[in-house]
Structure 1
Amino acid sequence: MKKRFITTSLYCLTVAAALAQAPASYKFDFGSGKVAKGYTAVLPTTHYTKELGYGFTTEAQLTAVDRGQSSRVGRNALTDDYCTSDKPFYFTVDVPEGNYDVTVTLGDKAGESATMVRAESRRLMTGQIVTKAGQFETRTFTVNVRTPKINDQQNVRLKPRERGYLNWDNQLTLEFNGPSPKVCAVEISRNDKTTTVFLAGNSTVVDQDREPWAAWGQMIPRFFKARKVAIANHAESGEALKSFVSEKRLDKIMSLMKPGDYLFIEFAHNDQKQGSAHVEPFTTYKEQVKLYISEARKKGGIPVLVTSMHRRSFDSTGHITNTLGDYPEAMRQTARDENVALIDLNAMSKTMYESWGPETSLKAFVHYPANSFPGQTEALKDNTHFSTYGAYEIARCIAEGIKANVPELAKSLLTDLGTFDPAQPDPLATWNWPLSPMITAVKPDGN
């Protein structure tokens, strides 16, 4: 995939004025046929440029198919044609920071299609959508777009690797994946009224931008109703409570939070390590968590505490050993002290890991033999970070925690999720995740 994002502060300042005048909605008709009224044509050759402000950003060989030429009966300018590829492809639009409702129209008048849609850095927005010949599916989901800018004097202090992420820019990027993705149309409209759920955390929460790594924060958007909730995942690998503050990530969240928004707080893995970010569980850790709670409440926000999931560490009897010390209990105590909703992911993850057992649980974490992915010459053995399957199952735990402990937010969860029992996780055989094209063998920060 070509590097086409310029995510420096200079770029943000250069385009800020133009973006302020950007339209509130965008309508794109994909394909080489007749263009639907009120839509902008998108051809396989519509490559993104800063001047154009939208287009494809991928090296995948795209083609356009126009079914409208074969018959004049039942013609529809929007669905007669589409763009497709035998590889994943990306489409991006320059937009100001904010939340956006995105509607995609998928299908083929004369053939089958199978498409999965992700946004920004591999955020899961839909499952695989399969259509038969002549069938079309329209799906809407809500995407958060953010920039590092806090105000005219302050920016989030990004790590060098973050400058290449797809989620720190003035662009809304969609990834179309699957065995036969066929995109007829994309509509984007700004949504300033939706509830925003901000995520503060580390590598177990972040939008991991490269395969085979994943975290629950990039899976959870799939669980919410369109137009009701936007997930703003500000978590980053290697972060602890203190570093998240010093890098102005909490300031960034507070600059955007409005009354009724949520702040999910999950830290422990890096806070327990010796160093400048270290905090003791029952003293400075609790004090730092209370700071986050206080800041959210000042803005009219609703804090939610999440105990950190266990690492994959089994004893000889097949039970999980606690590698997180007293930090989960300190989080529970803080929730009681501050009258804050708690999602006990620590407890749920123990149940789930032990239900898998030492061998099956390997599939939920990044354990792969050498040469499983391009450029990966050595085996990957990581007992902290998740595979896409493991991250999704953790997200299912989070959704159950929301149902049980955050009832107002639970109203915005999809109604067809069903119940989830961590003692009976979804079988691996049911999991479907076509790989994104960006892959790395480099382990994320944190452990």
Structure 2
Amino acid sequence: MKSKLRSKWGTLSCMMLVGALLSTCWGQSSAVHASATAYKFDFGAGSVVSGYTGVQASTAYNPSTGYGFNTPSNIKNVSASGTGIGSDAVQFVTFGTKSNNTFNVDLPNGLYEVKVTLGNTTRSSVAAEGVYQLINMTGDLATDQFQIPITDGQLNLLVTEGKVGAVFTLSALEITQVSTNPTTHPTIYVGGDSTVANYYPLANSVQGGWGQMLSKFINQNDYLVRNMASGGQIARGFRDDGQLEAILKYIKPGDYFIVQLGINDTNAKNNTTEAQFKEIMRDMVKQVKAKGATVILSTPQGRATDFDSSGVHHAEGRWYRAATIALAQEENVPLIDLNILSSAYFTSIGANATLALYMNGDTLHPNYAGATELARIVVENMKAQGLY
């Protein structure tokens, strides 16, 4: 939702190019930006880190500066537990992907890399241009980044729900233009549940999802990886609650959508039969195929303890696997049968080594090392099928 006060981006860019010092409403001077296509904002009421522009909760969007909050009355300054840019933050009091309670930045049209540092929060998601960009960033001062095309001269960003009852905070924002062409690079979009999702810090989290690790095995010059998976997710929720919407906004011919669901759909509390699961998945497949992208269905791996008395790991009957396999055949889309592929690997390393790839006391969720192995298996199978 765009501010009606938007100016031409040239006002901001010209001021930055000549190195003008912009005075903030509380008397501090904002940092000088290096160019019209690189912006760094430090949020909160504390001191401003050198090289950043300070932004308080009361900083309203202004055409003359080209940045600010659309509704500052719904933002408040809060502290944070880090240092530097992580010592303070702002909190979004109202939120939601369609909310107009956004931080707006005038930008020349193009493709941008946006780096987000949250404040203190248990779990938050980041939305921009009315759709999710980052899903369920967990823990204080979590950091992640995404690429986004800007086609209307302004970025509109907010921090929003990742967990009911959490606070949604933002400590810092860095925006860098990647290209003057507002077209996304070839991208592998990933959908799924907690066995696929990102965990933070991304580089050394204890728990891991294979979607988080996929970029370790994908050449970033070939494809970017955008992981939209989230813990506890079911097919209906992924389709209807904003994650598929975000993918459909950007996905294009040449891109991939790998989706793995079914674990939580089998839980009675989610009231989804296997037939219903299959048709919801079919709907998502059709919507993505209509965008000209390639859909890849994946079956989930089994539990760490799915070994028989002969030391063979097998979990073929789990997680609505049969429906996923049938759907891939009916819709003529590739299948990564991670269930079978991971079982073969687990059998080769044995029960004890397999258990070591899962979280302590948890036979379902992989740890960082386990998620890395699953991602390796996924990419190896993509290569074997000629998909990558």
- Give the one of 307, 310, 331 matched to 1:338: 331
1:259 aligns with 2:278: no
Alignment identity in percent?
23
Q: Report the CA distance shift for 1:98/1:294 in structure 2 as closer, same or farther (over 3 A).
A: farther
Q: Which residue of 1 aligns with 2:94?
A: none
Pairing 1:308-347 to 2, within 5 Å after superposition: 308-313=300-305, 314-322=307-315, 324-325=317-318, 327-347=320-340
Q: Deviations over 1:368-419 (max 9, x none)?
A: xxxxxxxxxxxxx111112111111111011112112253xx1xxxxxxxxx
1:285 aligns with 2:277: yes
Could you tell me how far apart the structure 1 residues matched to 2:135 and 2:160 are?
18
C-alpha contact 2:194 2:230 (8 A) present in aligned 1: yes
Q: Secondary structure at the match of 1:160?
A: coil
- Give the one of 191, 196, 201 matched to 1:205: 196
Q: Deviations over 1:248-286 (max 9, x none)?
A: 322222122223322111011101110234222xx2222
1:306 aligns with 2:298: yes
Q: Which residue of 2 aligns with 1:59?
A: 82
Q: Shift of the alpha carbon at 1:61?
A: 7.6
Q: Secondary structure at the match of 2:82?
A: coil
- Structure 2: gaps (5+ residues): 18-31, 41-47, 60-64, 68-79, 86-104, 115-133, 138-144, 150-155
Q: Shift of the alpha carbon at 1:304?
A: 0.8
Q: Shift of the alpha carbon at 1:47?
A: 5.8
C-alpha contact 1:101 1:227 (8 A) present in aligned 2: no
Could you tell me how far apart the structure 2 residues matched to 1:244 and 1:19 are?
37
1:391 aligns with 2:385: no
Paired residue type of 1:403: K
C-alpha contact 2:110 2:178 (8 A) present in aligned 1: no
Q: Which residue of 1 aligns with 2:239?
A: 245
Q: Report the CA distance shift for 1:157/1:38 in structure 2 as closer, same or farther (over 3 A).
A: closer
Could you tell me how far apart the structure 1 residues matched to 2:317 and 2:161 are?
28
Q: Shift of the alpha carbon at 1:292?
A: 1.1
Q: Which residue of 1 aligns with 2:178?
A: 189
Q: Shift of the alpha carbon at 1:101?
A: 6.3
Q: Shift of the alpha carbon at 1:315?
A: 3.3
Q: Which residue of 1 aligns with 2:93?
A: none
C-alpha contact 1:310 1:324 (8 A) present in aligned 2: no
Pairing 1:129-144 to 2, within 5 Å after superposition: 143-144=146-147
Could you tell me how far apart the structure 2 residues matched to 1:365 and 1:279 are?
28
Q: Shift of the alpha carbon at 1:339?
A: 0.9
1:351 aligns with 2:344: yes
Q: Shift of the alpha carbon at 1:331?
A: 1.3
- Give the one of 159, 164, 169 matched to 1:160: 164
Q: Which residue of 2 aligns with 1:275?
A: 269
Could you tell me how far apart the structure 2 residues matched to 1:339 and 1:405 are?
14
Could you tell me how far apart the structure 2 residues matched to 1:340 and 1:403 are?
15
Q: Report the CA distance shift for 1:326/1:45 in structure 2 as closer, same or farther (over 3 A).
A: closer
Q: Secondary structure at the match of 2:212?
A: helix
Could you tell me how far apart the structure 1 residues matched to 2:39 and 2:174 are?
18
Could you tell me how far apart the structure 2 residues matched to 1:99 and 1:162 are?
31
C-alpha contact 2:113 2:147 (8 A) present in aligned 1: no
Paired residue type of 2:336: I
Could you tell me how far apart the structure 1 residues matched to 2:7 and 2:83 are?
30
Paired residue type of 2:178: S
Q: Secondary structure at the match of 1:197?
A: strand
C-alpha contact 1:100 1:188 (8 A) present in aligned 2: yes
Q: Which residue of 2 aligns with 1:295?
A: 287
Paired residue type of 1:386: P
Q: Report the CA distance shift for 1:232/1:353 in structure 2 as closer, same or farther (over 3 A).
A: same
Q: Shift of the alpha carbon at 1:172?
A: 5.7
Q: Which residue of 1 aligns with 2:131?
A: none
Q: Shift of the alpha carbon at 1:144?
A: 3.7
C-alpha contact 1:144 1:232 (8 A) present in aligned 2: no
C-alpha contact 1:311 1:323 (8 A) present in aligned 2: no
Matched residues, number: 287
Q: Shift of the alpha carbon at 1:301?
A: 1.8
Query: Aligned Cα RMSD in Å?
Result: 4.7
Q: Larger RCO: Structure 1 or Structure 2 (Cα < 8 Å, ≥ 6 residues apart)?
A: 1
Q: Which residue of 2 aligns with 1:402?
A: 382
C-alpha contact 1:216 1:394 (8 A) present in aligned 2: yes
